Structure 1
Amino acid sequence: MKHFAFRKGLVFIRDEKKFTLLRRLMDGSFQLESEDGELIKCSEAEIILGCSRGEWVIDDAELEAPLVIDPKISRDLSTFSEEEQRKANRKDEYLRRVTGGQKFVMNYEKLEKQIAQVAVELNDPNPPSALSLYRWNRKKQKGRGSPVDLVDRFEQRGRRLSWSKTVKDIVDKAIEEVYFNHQLYPKVAVSELVETRVGQWAKKLPPDNEIKLPSKSSIYRYIEKLEAYNVVSKRLGKSEADLRFRSVKGKQIATRLSERWEIDHSPLDILVICEKSFKPLGRPWLTITIDKYSRMIVGFYLSFREPSAYAVLQCLKQAILPKDEILAAYSDIKTPWPARGIPETIVCDNGMDLHANALISFCQELGIQVQFCPAKTPQYKGSVERVFRTIEEGLIHQLPGTVFANIDARGDYPSEEKASLTFSDLQHLLIKWIVDVYHLTHHRGLV
């Protein structure tokens, strides 16, 4: 399934016929026109589900801005300082509001008016110029298309090097071999290696072609200008770099919808029975994805499988796609479940099974950044950790067959005898509780 956004002029192919998206109607559905002039009306959910099944295909030739993904980028926005995050998010907000999801067009007069309008909406006394907006858009196009591309990189500024290309290559290689080493060699080791190799190179050159040895201080300055996050990542490991440079300790912040989805697993405190024998099967595992900004549960996966990459993928599949078909199966659920879309970052446990190629490849294809939490850091996904307790106390502990949170709470309650819910019953109750209770209950952490 391709990564796309609904916009006027987007072309789909269905049954070997092209359909062009014309407009969004008052009821939220879309009007499309076929090649022969036929007008059809489709809901957003119908198109997205059709694309996921291969019934609808996006015409690649009509995509004006194909998604560019750089799998080498591993740093996320939260590893920068709060000020750098604020500035990057401000730039991204201007770009999103001015373009409205459409292709960026460099029209000075039009852009200046749009920028002025956005500045009023954001209460920004110092709006950017049209040229600045153009440069920010170029950065996002060349990068992965996220606010990370808009972070100011001050380490790249300063006076230019007077080194020749040969000397710079020697210094870069020396840094890679010596300084980017878990032995934690000092900067002087780099300088000494550079001196040795420049001397060896000089012997190969004719007398009239000299090579200038860089000073020790210039090498030190060059090393100090390297991005600190990358230096720590190379010398001490990525986990240590993430811990050192994450600006918010103990509390992860999201500033918009789908910026950060947290995923976690937990066995539910209830015994489920077999639909045929009516004997207890055991406690099912629940995998949940929650949107950090809204605290909305965007998807879940219930099974008897223990935590795995498969469970995460199934949970993400439900989270990304519309929920219309899921809700249509239950006539007693009337509340909509509008959660869908592609997140910027997903946060999950650091188990080896979750590093599976299938999960990594899936996220890279959709431009999703995966953040694996270091051990003993529950604050990295505190929102989803808390929602499990809410589910247990608000739903599971009130159902027949619950085993409660511990032996003391259970007392002499006969869980095996009281168990009466099948797997499908539990899934039905869970969906109803999510959309009719949890999503409609005020969250104290939100304004």
Structure 2
Amino acid sequence: MINNFDVFCKEQGISSEQELFINNIRSSDPARRVKSSGKNVPGFYSSKKMGVTIQFESHKLELAAIYLMEFDDDVYEFYDQPPSFKLNYKINGKNRGHRYTADFFVISKDFIGWEEWKTEEELSKKMAESPERYILDENGVWRCPPAEEYAKEQGLSFRVRSSKEINWTLQENLRFLEDYLLEENPSVSVTSRNIITNYIKSDLGITLDDLLSVEDAQFSVDDIYKLIILGEIYVDLDGFLIEKFEKFPLFIDKEVAVALLNFEATTVNRDIDGIELDNKVVLEIGGNILWNGNLFMVVNIGETEISLLDEAEKIIPLPKHSVEELIKKGYIKSLASNESNEKHDEEVQEYKEIIKSASPSDLQEANEKYFLLRKHLEGEVVDVPPRTLRHWKKKYNDAVREYGKGYIGLIPARHKQGNKTRRLNKDVIDLMEIYITEVYENKKQRNVSSVYNSFKLDCIEKGFDPPTKKTFEKQIERRPSHEQELKRKGKKAAYDKEPVYWELTQTTPRHGGRPFEIAHIDHTKLDIELICSKTQKNLGRPWLSLLVDAYSRRVLSFHLTYDPPSYRSCMNTIRECVNKFSRMPKTIIVDGGKDFQGTYFDTLLAQYECNKKTRPGAKPRFGSVCERLFGTTNTMFIYNLQGNTQMTKNNVRLLTKDTNPKGLAIWTLEHLYEALNQWLYEEYDQRTHISLDQSPRDAYQQNIRKTGERKQTYIKYDYNFEMFTLPTTKKGTAKVQIGDGIKINNVYYWSYELQNPAVEGKQVPVRYDPFDYSKAYAYVNKRWIKLNSQYELEFAGRTEKEIKIATAELRSRKKNTQDSINISALDIAKFLRTTEAHELLEIQRLKDEAFKKSLTVIEGGKKSLAKKQADSKAFNKSEIKSTNLQKVDDDIKTSKDEIEEVTQFDLYEEFF
């Protein structure tokens, strides 16, 4: 960001009025919150350059624009959804106008003003719908004259930017290198730097895969990517994709790269069919060349001689060195060399389309003709009539002149045979289309017979000969099924027939290119009834929250609780991920639920530079990574446990007291948590995944070796991190009131450290513990201090959920009286002492106690797991001596045995 905006304005010659106007935009909140229309994927990007989150409405377009601005040194500041302004324009001579909000306001080296980003398709559509607002000028540049006029009045600029400007190779490379680009001061040891650069100098054009494959390397993968960022290794980020490691070249500097790429562009490539010379004239059997303006076909390429066939079918043998000399002097040219590249591209595309439309039998026939013709031209006798050979040769030469490829002339054109004209009268066809699109395809959902009868009657009245019902039905089948379902039954019914966009292109990598690039988080209610370990009472079905890495399908963390999804579930799931891996995903995909849209969750993500994307509602395919794992967990794990509820789904009428899952339940939350820990982190983690053809753990570890550990992104799981996973107030702060302390959620909290005159009456950051309402925290004197509630005894151990239940009960009681319905902390404290409160909150208290136990029951297992992971890392390091390998194996086996002793995953019943 610009440190001194006043100085910047003077340097840029910006007037005081303009400076005031721009400052108003800089200090304003976004004019609106972006949202999904059902097709787009909105979210926010945690910008390090701006120090705030930047909204995007499309992860295919606006997010790409954000990446360009984030890593462009010429862009100083950019703001999403700047304040709206009015567009004025004329329609049919009448003045019109509306409020308009641009995508971004940008302050850069050579541009200050608004930017609107749209796809080429959108702009073409907008120009057709509103030519007074969007135009394509004579230079092929998209413009919005009304917005430009407003910007000009302010002494600023406005520009429309199109998806055509986005280089998706560069986009993917920026995402890949983002962790290194955002690192404060990336550094590489002198030893590693020298080793890496020596490899690159000694092997010009060495690929990234070659460097990553160096045995006993004394440098890390991260060192390579840091040297790229530091500019000590030159790479072409615009032209080569890093994730294609085997094709990504590394150079010591730009000059060497340009020289080597130019050399490769003129390198002679040889293959079994022919040779390609320096001036790009291709000689291959069956190929065609121009010699002094005359067309010749190459019929043979020998070791010393090349044979050509002229249009009079005369074979001309020439010494190979003579042909090469004629090519060098320019007497022999490629057939396509006299034609424009654009025309050549069109011909190639048309050629490909013809090949695609040909049937396998057509191609087989063309191949037979080609080989027979080739033998004939080489002087061999073939069993084909001369007239047929002349016909084939003419077809071949005609195709050479039209497409530059003779082979296409030998493909049978049977698809052109027959009468393609429809027998029906055009007026009948038009009437049939009207009945199908307007009468059949609507919300009345009339059946085919009914609509056909109406259509038939209309045809007779108009004097037409009506087609048969079978013809009418075939015409209906020609219509897009998704569009029909949408019109007849609505978008939810049509969703199953909606075209599936797997989004495997560079524009939107569906699952990212590496672990921790993209992760999905979601919740589901497990199909099993649980009981209390103390009272044996049925406590219902638990909720499972999963955070899954999209690339490797590895479960990064999970959370199990009785409470419905909330920000607490999200916070605890993220907390477990950091505790396990010391990092958070770069982008988290969420649905539109309130638990993912709250301030607490967004603040946590923004604090640790994690981006958020919200998938469209009612589109389960967008969350398939989690949805499939939920199904796998239920079918392969939960349905093998006693008390599972699968019978209540399909056979509820067959339930009896003896088969009711509520009566059969024997599992507690603590034991289920423990068994899930083993299932998700060990069993599923090492099971071959059908989409990967390997286990999630293997996919994760293999890719980490190529994409780097990225230790600069590691998060220390400490007291400060725990504070950020705790909720706060709407403002994030609370006032220190003299003598009373800090009021959080209508409850006063106190600590002797609040007596400091420096903080009295000031707003300070605060947090509270949702699992113990008697505790809260405040950031005072550059550290977090612990606060105690004024009703310590009553609130001790009470969760936020219990307090909400008690508050709701008191509010419902006061509605029936003349008392105010405002509920104070004293009212809640008094209520919590009563027997009624004990009865009301008993079930919730048992659920909370079970959850707290589940967090501690596997601590022993976690220690063993941590030891095993440490040993596994040591095992993968090349410097381990072979004499130590057996000891590492024994230690890993011992750690695994310790965990199995705790969980007894395969012997579920032994818990009881």
Question: Which is higher, the Rg of structure 1 or of structure 2?
Answer: 2
TM-score by length of structure 1 reads 0.49
Bigger RCO of structures 1 and 2 (CA < 8 A, at least 6 apart): 1
* TM-score, length-scaled by structure 2: 0.25
